[in-house]
Structures are given as structure tokens and as C-alpha cells.
Amino acid sequence: MELSGAQIIWECLIREGADTVFGYPGGTVINLYDALLDYPAIHHVLARHEQGACHMADGYSRASGRTGVVIATSGPGAMNLVTGLANAMLDSIPMVAITGQVRSNLLGTDAFQEIDVTGVTLPITKHNYLVQRPEDIAPAIREAFAVARTGRPGPVLVDITTDAQKARTRFNWEAGVPQRHLRHIPKEPAEASLEQACKLITHAKRPVILAGHGVRLSGAETELIALAEKLNIPVITTLLGISDLPASHPLNMGMLGMHGESWTNKAVQESDLIIAMGMRFDDRVTGDLKTFAPHAKKIHVDVDQSEIDKNVKVDVPIVADLRAVLTALLPRLETMEHADWLSQIRSTKGEAQAEAILSHEGLIQAPQVIHEIWKATEGKALMVTDVGQHQMWEAQYYKHEVGLITSGGLGTMGFGLPAAIGAKMGRPDREVWIVAGDGGFQMNIQELMTIIQEGLKVNIAVVNNGYLGMVRQWQELFYDKRYASTPILSPDFVKVAAAYGIAGETVSRYEDLAPAIQRARAASGSYLVEFRVEPELSVFPMVPAGASLHDMLRRPARAKSAAKKKGAQR
């Protein structure tokens, strides 16, 4: 059948399984949006900013396991996708971005709203395409989806000129079968590597599993638990791997790294074998590479060859899909016991900074907010966070039985609210909470209107300490409390939410925490609670940048301070 290029785009999206897309119209995609009216099977979510739309597609993908789709016009519209694409790239999120481009005969002339978006996004996408003919649209989109979700997932951008969208051609879906994506297909795990791994595992006395985001990306949660239980090996997670297995599982020891638990960091440093699964030895995980796990042999399982030996030299690399590797390893290994090793770790395990939860003096402590949300939801909510201190407190104090959605590699402030919208649209059956700081929440606060337009139920917790908290913490600890540009004023978030049509309340006393959380959950629509918390509370433990994992800074003894006086006056 003969279709316009714009119609071909929607036909391709439907055939790729997309039923929800996020975007913002503009001049170079006006043909695309005009054709959208003829495709009611696709629901378009109108964001208030293209960056928000990109984060929505990201959150949608993480929550649903499907490929997110975002649309933007050329020039400023496409440029507003850049941060969202980089975020998806560093966290390995499958996404297809479709951008409009000026007419083919205007390319390279600095035409109105012309930007070389493929050149700009080359380093932050898995691949990208510039399409100038309607007959090339279907092959490009089909290949984009294949590349985005095959092997190590990531974002792919397809830039399509306006004349290609408008022109008509014969649509042949079968002729667009992807070709070049074949290089992304994971190899089968090498037999020799599997045998070497089994030998190291069999002889280890103090092994640990380091579980990363790759566990969830490969759908290997069940296999991970089966391996850990068969071998009785403690599982330690990265931030993005935090819900690879339920927090209540006895072998889940928690998160490691800069703000990880003291006992997990200690266990890694004392281990004699690390089995790294779908993680990339990020600097926030390893600390000083020279002193990282000095006594341990290392097995690294990753689908991406480029991650092997990039940061940490390993003894046994296994480049393959993680689920395939675990499936191959399980029957080769005998049941093992590591009772003494597990007992040693558990003897040092305690509640993360229990004092911050239990102390009811003065202002609310931010960890108390997270703890109360966890108690109310029993760890079963789909949690989404922005980036900053609240993100680390959420990781420490919310005991996840199911998923966490957060910006890991890029650490993108403003990610949380739009990602929560995408997450709710991807999993409308789930209770969704977003936890945001007063700084990051203001970066994409306009997306509150998207919540209303889509009729979504999202619970919003704004942790307001009057600072850009994580930077302030570093200024306190390493720059003699020279708080340069970190004190931040905020509007009355409850009144702002009300202006958008969202109910809410402000809480500043401990005894009001739990009731406010319950009111948020019981509300028929979205609900915002602004928690006014102690301003100068820091996240501990903390491994200073470049320090060893065992050189952790711990919370100082509580004392009355000017910080409390300042907070009491707010």
C-alpha cells in the first residue's frame, strides 16, 4: 500500500508493539502529528518539555520492560532530548527517539531550527540515523528498535526530514528486516570461561555476588536467587541493582559503594572471590581501584565486551547474556555452605543509621520520611527518585521488595517526576511514589500538568531541606562549610500543586508523617506531601571520592547546633 512517510512511521511503531509514545509537536513533525489522528491505537502523551518527555519514555521502559518512544521537533526540540538520551545511554535503557529535521535541500544551510542532531547525539546513543527518503523510514525504524533492545540495551535516534515525512511511497514492512543489528546479538557463554568460573567458585571461602542493573535487563532475577541459594553466597547490589532480589531475602546484604552499607563494603574488601553480574565497576562502587577487593579473584559476567577489564582487571571474563550464563552455571555447581562467612557478615550488619529513624527530637529527619513510606507500603511500591541526598536515603531506608527507578550513571536532577509519570503509564496497576528533593523537583515541575492531563495517580514526596543537599554535604565536609550557591528558596509546593489541580499538604512534625502518607495513598488522584526536614543532615556512611571502600565516614554524634535553630525558623 502507498503511504506518506508520516503514516509509515506510525505503522512501524504499531508493528513494533508501541502503544504509548511521549512527545511535543513542532514544525518539522507537523506531518507526523497530523497522521497521528488516523492511528487511535497509539496513545500520545503530551509532555510540557521535551526533556520531560524523554525521561517519561525512560521511566516507561524501566517499569514495563518495553522500548520507550519519544518524539520531538528539530532544533531546540531535539536538543532538549540530549540529557534524557544521555541518561538512558548510561543506564542502558532501550529507547527510540524520533526527531523531525528540515527539508533535505536545506540540510547544511543553517536553516531555521536546523541542528545536526545525529552529530550531537552520536556519543550518547547506541546508534542514530538521518533519513531523507520515505522508502528508508521503515528499515531505519525497524533497525532502531532491534539495536535499542538487543544485547546491551540503549537509546537510538532516528532523524527524519520533513519532505521524507510528507512524500508518499509503497510501504513494505517485510523489506525492512534489520540487518546491522546482528553484531549486537550476545554470544553463547564460552565453555572454557564457565569451567574456570566453576573452579573459582568451588574453592572460594569468602565469595560475594555483586549484582547490577544487568540482572533486571536480562530478566535473570529468578536465576540469580537460585544461584545464591544453591551456593549460600551473600548478594550485594549496586544502586540500579537494588531490587534484583527482595530486600527481605536472607542473602540480600544491601547496597555497596560511596553511600553503601558499612558491612557490605567491609565484606567486599575481605572477600576472596567477587562474582560481578551485569555491573560495570563504576567509581561510586569501587572507590580507589588500587585498594578495591585486594584479596579477591574476580569473575565478571557482562553482555558488553567493552566493559571487561575497563575499570577492574578480572580473572575470568564471561561475555554473554547474564541469564544464559546463570542457566549454564547452575547445573554445573554443587550445593555449598558458607555458614562462617555469612555469620561474619551478619554479625556486623545493623539497621542503617537507626538513630536517624528513631530520634524524634527537633525537625523531621529525612530518613524518617523514607522509613514511614516503606512501612506504609510494605516495600511493595514502585519507587521513583530524583537525584541527590534523598536518592541515597531512599536506597538505604526503603527496603525494596520490588522495583526502584532512579538515574544512576548520569545522576540527572529533574529525572524523577517525569520518570514517575512514565512508570505509572507503563504499570498502571502499581502504586507509584516519587521521592524528590526541593532542588531537583523544581527542574521539571511543569510536568505536574501532564499528570492531570493524563488523569494519573502518583504519590509525590518532596523532601525539602532548603539546600541543594548533596553539594551542601560536600561543602560541609570538605570545604569548611562554605555554602556557595547551595541554599535554595522554593515556592510553597502545596500551593503550586493546587494550581495544577493536585491536592497536598505540608508536614514538619514527626507525629504527622504516617497520617499524611496514608492520606496520600487513600486519595483518589495524585497527592503531594512536602516534608520540611532538618536542613543540614548528611548521608552516612560516606566513602570520600577516591578513597578506599573501607575508609568510610560515619555519622557524628548528634548535638544541638545552629542548623537546628535555622531549621526551627523556617
- Specify the DSSP element, H or E, that contains 201: helix 191-203
C-alpha cell at position 252: 540480600
Per DSSP, what are the bridge partners of residue 384?
A: 405, 434
Q: How far apart are CA 377 and CA 394, in angstroms?
A: 13
- The reply to whether 191-346 shares the fold of 2-184 is yes
- Specify the DSSP element, H or E, that contains 301: strand 297-302
- Which amino acid is residue 261, in one-letter code? E
pLDDT of the residue at 484: 97
Q: How far apart are CA 51 and CA 23, in angstroms?
A: 9
**Correct CATH for 191-346 of 3.60.110.10, 3.90.340.10, 3.40.50.2020, 3.40.50.1220:** 3.40.50.1220
Q: How far apart are CA 124 and CA 213, in angstroms?
A: 19
Spell out the domain ranges in the chain. Answer: 2-184, 191-346, 353-539
The Cβ-side half-sphere exposure at 376, using a 13 Å CA radius, reads 22
pLDDT of the residue at 354: 57
Among residues 397, 340, 345, 339, the alpha carbon closest in space to that of 366 is found at 397
pLDDT of the residue at 561: 41
SS (H, E, C) 121-154: HHHHCCEEEEECCHHHHHHHHHHHHHHHHCCCCC
Among residues 50, 48, 90, 53, the alpha carbon closest in space to that of 68 is found at 53
pLDDT of the residue at 350: 64
Residue 363 — φ and ψ, nearest 5°? -75, 165
C-alpha cell at position 197: 568460573
**Correct CATH for 2-184 of 3.40.50.80, 3.40.50.970, 3.40.50.300, 3.30.565.10:** 3.40.50.970
Per DSSP, what are the bridge partners of residue 211?
A: 237, 277
Q: How far apart are CA 246 and CA 49, in angstroms?
A: 35
Residues 6+ apart with CB under 8 A from 203: none
- Local mean pLDDT, 10-residue blocks, the chain (570 residues): 96 97 98 98 98 98 98 98 98 98 96 97 97 96 94 97 98 82 72 96 98 96 98 97 95 95 94 97 94 97 95 96 96 96 88 56 89 97 98 96 96 98 98 98 98 98 97 96 97 98 97 97 98 95 92 70 40
pLDDT of the residue at 419: 98
Q: What is the CATH number that goes with domain 353-539?
A: 3.40.50.970
